[in-house]
Structure 1
Amino acid sequence: MKQSRKKIAGVIVVLLLSVCFYVGGKQFFKHQKSIDEVKHIKIGVSIYDEYDTYIAELMQEVSSLAKKKEMEEKIAITVDVQSAGGSQITQNDQIESFVDKNYNVVCVGLVDRTDASGVIDKAKSADIPIIFFNRELVNEDLERWDKIYYVGADAVQSGVMQGEIILEACKKNFESIDKNKDGILQYVIIEGEPGHQDALVRTEYSVKTVVNAGYTLQKLGNEIANWNKAQAITKMTSLLEKYGEEIEVVISNNDEMALGALEAIKNSNIESYPLVVGVDGVQGGLESVKKKEMIGTVYNDYRGQAKAIVEMAFALSLQQDFPEELNLIENKSIYLPYQKITYDNVQEYIRMLN
């Protein structure tokens, strides 16, 4: 009788262990769906602005990887990408539409990273998981629900790497960079949006990295160009009219604005061009580095981010665990590392991304 009781207790323990399989940060689902159970996965994507070159490249990669996943898994996958046109109200309406259409997952590049509540509330009410990307929501919002995730990169790292690119150039030939021979680097900043975390952090750490290496910097001016090339042309033209040859370094929060700044420089009357450095590693930026117009850029791994978004959306749709190689932090966030690009290695990235 005692042996029988021991056997029963052993069976109960095994059953309990088989149910409680939450180990090492993996998700826990009461019922994991098989491919056969799900005939069609629908992913709704809302981006803050369709005219952002980096976001456009990211979305192209997401669509391409979704098609590849569709062929591999033999299951229909629809990726519905919509632009909010810079309006948080429009974005909230888009999420509501995705919810009404019973999409499996919604992916959101926030218009306003400080105002994610509308998006979260709409998706949570329908129990639809949310993957935020590129624009990191505030931590309090990330913790509001266990089906909120984030895919992006560490903005501090990008700012530090911009500073390191400037330092490498200074070590090679400071005399030619210091046009007025005063031993001080006179610089201007072309910023993204007011209050945007990436803009603030990149600006701070690019400058701090150079200062911490022992160089003296003097800020002549800064202009906000909202990540946009056309706006950057206008803003850089204004800075050139005011400071002209005094500008020795141009630090841009992204490549599109750096390219706009370069165009303004080419259209000006200055003879000695300043250093120009960007972030993102978009095609235009890479070509500019190859031509030695920009001294460098910082690659923001859109391919890695796109892969993470697609793999997470697929797993969430089937209520399955995420692939281990995604390396989520606290089962919530994925941060892809940035990479420095200069003339010395730009050809590698051009080959890789073509």
Structure 2
Amino acid sequence: MMKGISRFYSRSEIRKKILSFYLIMTLMVMIISGCSNIKNKEKDTIRIGVSVYDAHDTFITQLMDDFNSYADTNVTVITYNAGQSMKEQNNQMQEMIDGGCDVICINLVDRTEPEHIIDLALKYDVPVIFFNRELTGEDLRRSDKFYYVGSDAMESGIMQGELAAEGILDDSLHIDANGDGYIQYVMLQGEAGHQDAIVRSEYCVETLMNSGIKLDRKGLAIANFNRTQAQSKIEQLINAKTEIELILANNDDMALGAIDAYINIFGDKAKSMLPAIYGIDGTIGGLEAVKTGYMCGTVYNDKEGQAHAMYDLAIALATGGSLDDLGIEDEHYIRLPHTKVTLENVNDYLY
């Protein structure tokens, strides 16, 4: 009967086995450490999802250009165009959540229908920054992770009214061309029922009347903040022989559309035929029109400031950083001020 064979190791062999064991353990630690570093790197990457109501809106496009310019190398911004469809924007909200966005920025298609977006944000505990199109305070306060970044629509309306009043009272501009003591005007308004459009229009007219200006409204045209639609509306009024001494537009795109209408109808004589035209937003096109004299003035809506504030807030929310120095008011709002722009100071905003 064979006995079991036993093996005795020499000291040198034992040392080799111990060394091999330590090498294997060191390698395992390195692998685990490497995996840990990969995970940390993934956590350091911030994903910001953005849905805009319409990518063809000039102001929104320029605001997003500024927003993207602030993004660091470890920040990924994914932008969606809702194309003026609330249903599409609701779907995009789900996509951004499914895509692992740390923060979501929403430029609402319809400020009166944010329920689905809010419900999703609450369900998945995702911070949301609403911007440019303000939802109701009641909706915004449904979570301490909801914020609004934008401006004060009332302020912009008042400033536009002040600009127009200053122009009317300046005899050199001869805005009251027929000398009847009344200013025949047209209001180019944004979307029907849109809060900012209504507020801008009402406070602009109220400011003019409080300045002692007598007004004679010749038209209230809904042009949906759109340049082409504004051109069509003003062309209709011109062709109907409507007397127009002043055009007040809720945004620069519509003001530029009014200019397009005169150019299309009067050609080279258009500039001499133009009424006084005032816009709001201070887009590049609007500022250039002020500089060349086609527009009398615009109200600068600080898109750079809003973009920067929105970006800083998004990063703070994504990283758990401090919100103390971001200028938040009433726990949910960041508002940037407007400024009046005329020929005298337009270069300060263009260059």
**1:135–1:152 CA contact under 8 A, matched in 2:** yes
Q: 1:50 aligns with which of 47, 50, 55?
A: 55
1:132, distance to aligned residue in structure 2 (A): 0.2
SS at match of 1:218: strand
2:343 equivalent in structure 1:
343
1:99 equivalent in structure 2:
97
1:24-173 to 2 correspondences below 5 Å: 38-67=43-72, 70=73, 76-173=74-171
1:175 to 1:302, Cα distance in 2 relative to 1, 3 A: closer
Q: CA separation in 2, counterparts of 1:254 and 1:220?
A: 19
1:209-220 to 2 correspondences below 5 Å: 209-220=207-218
Higher relative contact order (CA 8 A, sep 6+): 1
Query: Which whole-Å deviations, capped at 9, do the CAs of 1:219-242 have from their partners, x for residues lacking one?
Result: 111111111111111111012122
1:175 to 1:233, Cα distance in 2 relative to 1, 3 A: closer
RMSD: 1.5
Q: CA separation in 1, counterparts of 2:259 and 2:142?
A: 43
Q: 2:195 aligns with which of 172, 177, 197?
A: 197
TM-score for both structures, normalised by structure 2: 0.85
1:307 to 1:323, Cα distance in 2 relative to 1, 3 A: farther
What amino acid is aligned across from residue 60 of structure 1 in structure 2? D
1:16 equivalent in structure 2:
none
1:249 equivalent in structure 2:
246
2:258 equivalent in structure 1:
261
Gaps of 5+ in 2: 1-39
1:8 equivalent in structure 2:
none
Higher deviation after alignment, 105-114 or 165-174: 165-174
1:39, distance to aligned residue in structure 2 (A): 1.5
1:158 to 1:175, Cα distance in 2 relative to 1, 3 A: closer
SS at match of 1:124: helix
**2:246–2:275 CA contact under 8 A, matched in 1:** yes
What amino acid is aligned across from residue 44 of structure 1 in structure 2? G
SS at match of 2:299: strand
1:7-18 to 2 correspondences below 5 Å: none
1:275 equivalent in structure 2:
276
Q: CA separation in 2, counterparts of 1:118 and 1:128?
A: 13
Query: Which whole-Å deviations, capped at 9, do the CAs of 1:301-347 have from their partners, x for residues lacking one?
Result: 011000111101101011122251x2111221011000100001001
Q: CA separation in 2, counterparts of 1:272 and 1:60?
A: 35
1:123, distance to aligned residue in structure 2 (A): 1.5
Query: Which whole-Å deviations, capped at 9, do the CAs of 1:104-123 have from their partners, x for residues lacking one?
Result: 00000000001111111111
Asked if 1:289 is matched to 2:271, the reply is no
Q: CA separation in 1, counterparts of 2:309 and 2:256?
A: 29
**2:281–2:301 CA contact under 8 A, matched in 1:** yes
TM-score for both structures, normalised by structure 1: 0.84
SS at match of 1:178: coil
Q: 1:233 aligns with which of 215, 231, 238?
A: 231
Query: Which whole-Å deviations, capped at 9, do the CAs of 1:58-103 have from their partners, x for residues lacking one?
Result: 1111110113xx4xxxxx1100010000000100100101111221
2:309 equivalent in structure 1:
308
**2:167–2:173 CA contact under 8 A, matched in 1:** no
2:334 equivalent in structure 1:
334
Larger Rg: 1 or 2? Answer: 2
Q: CA separation in 1, counterparts of 2:173 and 2:232?
A: 29
Q: CA separation in 1, counterparts of 2:248 and 2:172?
A: 17
**2:299–2:339 CA contact under 8 A, matched in 1:** yes
1:298 to 1:127, Cα distance in 2 relative to 1, 3 A: same
Q: CA separation in 1, counterparts of 2:114 and 2:222?
A: 23
Q: CA separation in 2, counterparts of 1:174 and 1:238?
A: 29
Identity across matched positions, percent: 46
1:187 equivalent in structure 2:
185
Q: CA separation in 2, counterparts of 1:273 and 1:109?
A: 34
2:23 equivalent in structure 1:
none
Query: Which whole-Å deviations, capped at 9, do the CAs of 1:132-185 have from their partners, x for residues lacking one?
Result: 000000111011111100000000000011011111111212772112211000
What amino acid is aligned across from residue 254 of structure 2 in structure 1? M
What number of residue pairs does the alignment pair up?
A: 308
Q: CA separation in 2, counterparts of 1:38 and 1:331?
A: 27
SS at match of 1:279: strand
